[in-house]
Amino acid sequence: ARAGFHWVRQQFPWEDIEIAGKGDYVDPKWGVNTWDKYDRIVSLAEKHGLQIIARLDAPPAWTRKMGSAPGWTMAPPDDLNDYGDYVYAVVSRYRGRIRHYQIWNEPNIYPEWGDQPADPAGFVKLLQVAYRRAKEADPDCVIICAGLAQTTEETPEEFKPRNMSDLLYLEKMYLAGARGYFDVMGAQVYGLFTGPYDR
């Protein structure tokens, strides 16, 4: 705050909030309420006049048949409604304290989509569920669609690209029905290897 920052993007990892199972908010290792840490973070941000953008991703192992097999730790859940319930829980808890929520992060590259091929239509389904549930919890919240990783990789469709150009991915998101399911489109502006000012 003293440095002049007004915003912080803070991850609220699903795997750190519902660790052992759906609706279970107790850390099995330490026996503490998993919300406590995030309540402290939100209180500190308020104390210092910082607004939070809450990033909602990182499903726990119990949400996937594959669990946490190598490469699968960032994969979406098998049942998107489980993700919707998590989004609803976070937005309900911090209604009036956090207004901005980012849904996922860089889903157009395989490490952020569970070592699976880029799947814009799959991501849009997740986004639609998240948007509806967030707005149920707080109609005034602002949903930020995940910023896409900047990449020029465009593997032919028949090879199921693990990474997909952010421009192509965004186009396919719109074809899959993304319009109307976010309030702000996130953007990553770090550039490729030469920095954000390279056009």
**Grouped pLDDT means (10 residues each) for the chain, 199 residues:** 97 97 97 98 98 98 92 92 98 98 95 91 98 98 95 66 88 98 91 68
Q: What is the pLDDT of residue 90?
A: 98
Sign of CA dihedral 53, 58, 60, 65: positive
Tokens of 19: 């660790």
Q: How far apart are the first and last CA of the chain?
A: 32
d(CA 149, CA 191): 9
Q: What is the pLDDT of residue 158?
A: 64
Q: What is the pLDDT of residue 30?
A: 96
Tokens of 99: 């207004």
Tokens of 125: 């389904």
Q: What is the pLDDT of residue 188?
A: 86
**Could you tell me which of 127, 198, 186, 199 has the C-alpha nearest to residue 7?**
186
> Residue 48 forms beta bridges with which residues?
none
3-state secondary structure of 109: strand
d(CA 158, CA 166): 18
Residue written as token pair 């908010």: 25
Main-chain phi, psi angles of 177, to 5 degrees? 100, 25
**Could you tell me which of 60, 13, 57, 67 has the C-alpha nearest to residue 35?**
13
Q: What is the pLDDT of residue 159?
A: 57
Q: What is the pLDDT of residue 189?
A: 78
Dmax (CA) for the chain in angstroms is: 52
